[in-house]
């Protein structure tokens, strides 16, 4: 259930984010608020760990204190940090040298009027561009992007790629450590092979 809610929330906030620009303030507030509500249940998922306490008159004793479960204690702060990094990367594009226009419309500039082709400004548009005709088309100055902007874009690309790899690594680690009850496998429908000598059955 929580996975479905998280996916739906991400789709509603980021599903139509087709431009390199900061997240709209209302969407950013909604994302932060909804994530806090979604993760508040993790405060109740705890385990007991030993902790040393001091007597008022001197000396120490060991007691068990609650702490977030190990996987949450390790991974949840890391995921929150990755999320903040992605939001901060989008915030870097508040002022940029490039802009976006809709395909196939006439865009009026300060000094001239430019008509944008439906698929691309290239002579032979790619199949991917033709299939995604609804996406806004990026435009750059006639002289091209400055060297600093190119470097910043490359750094943002590399940083985003590293964030994705880190999130995938956390996801794979959690799935690998997750214990699946045998009753779950037993409840899966079985498909019988036509040749029992090869394999009695496989799970669908």
Q: Chain-centre distance of CA 178, in angstroms?
A: 21
- Least-confidence region, from 5-19, 48-62, 78-92, 174-188: 5-19
Report the mean per-residue pLDDT for the chain. Answer: 77
Classify residue 150 by its DSSP letter. Answer: H
Task: Report the distance separating Cα 179 and Cα 50, nearest Å.
Answer: 25
Sign of CA dihedral 175, 177, 178, 180: positive
Distance between CA atoms of 194 and 139, rounded to whole angstroms?
A: 59
pLDDT at position 186 is 82
**What is the chain's percent helix, strand, coil content, to nearest 5?**
50, 20, 35
For 137-196, write each residue's pLDDT tens digit. 888 888 888 999 899 999 999 999 999 999 999 989 988 887 878 887 788 787 655 555
pLDDT over 80 at 41, yes or no:
yes
Count other Cβ atoms within 10 Å, centred on residue 15.
9
For 113-132, how does the pLDDT look when each residue is reduced to its tens digit (9 = 90+)?
343 444 444 344 454 555 67
Per-residue model confidence (pLDDT) at position 123: 40
Residues in the chain: 204
pTM of the model: 0.66
Least confident range from 12-26, 27-41, 160-174: namely 12-26
What separation in angstroms does the CA of 99 have from each of 105, 130, 143, 149, 171? 15, 20, 14, 13, 35
As given in the structure block, the two tokens for residue 2 are 């929580």
Predicted pLDDT of residue 114: 42
Dist CA 23 CA 84 (whole Å) = 12
């Amino acid at each position: 259930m929580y996975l479905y809610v998280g996916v739906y929330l991400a789709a509603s906030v980021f599903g139509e984010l087709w431009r390199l620009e900061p997240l709209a303030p209302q969407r950013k507030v909604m994302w932060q608020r909804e994530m806090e509500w979604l993760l508040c249940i993790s405060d109740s998922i705890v385990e007991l760990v030993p902790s040393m306490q001091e007597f008022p008159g001197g000396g120490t004793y060991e007691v068990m204190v609650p702490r977030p479960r190990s996987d949450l204690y390790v991974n949840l702060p890391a995921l929150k940090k990755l999320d903040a990094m992605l939001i901060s990367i989008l915030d870097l594009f508040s002022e940029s040298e490039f802009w976006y226009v809709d395909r196939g419309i006439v865009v009026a500039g300060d000094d001239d009027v430019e008509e944008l082709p439906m698929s691309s400004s290239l002579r032979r548009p790619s199949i991917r561009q033709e299939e995604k005709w609804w996406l806004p088309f990026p435009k750059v100055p006639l002289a091209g992007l400055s060297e600093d902007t190119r470097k910043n874009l490359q750094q943002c690309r590399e940083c985003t790629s590293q964030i994705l790899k880190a999130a995938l690594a956390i996801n794979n680690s959690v799935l690998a450590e997750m214990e699946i009850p045998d009753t779950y496998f037993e409840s899966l429908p079985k498909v019988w092979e036509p040749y029992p000598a090869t394999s009695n059955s496989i799970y669908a």
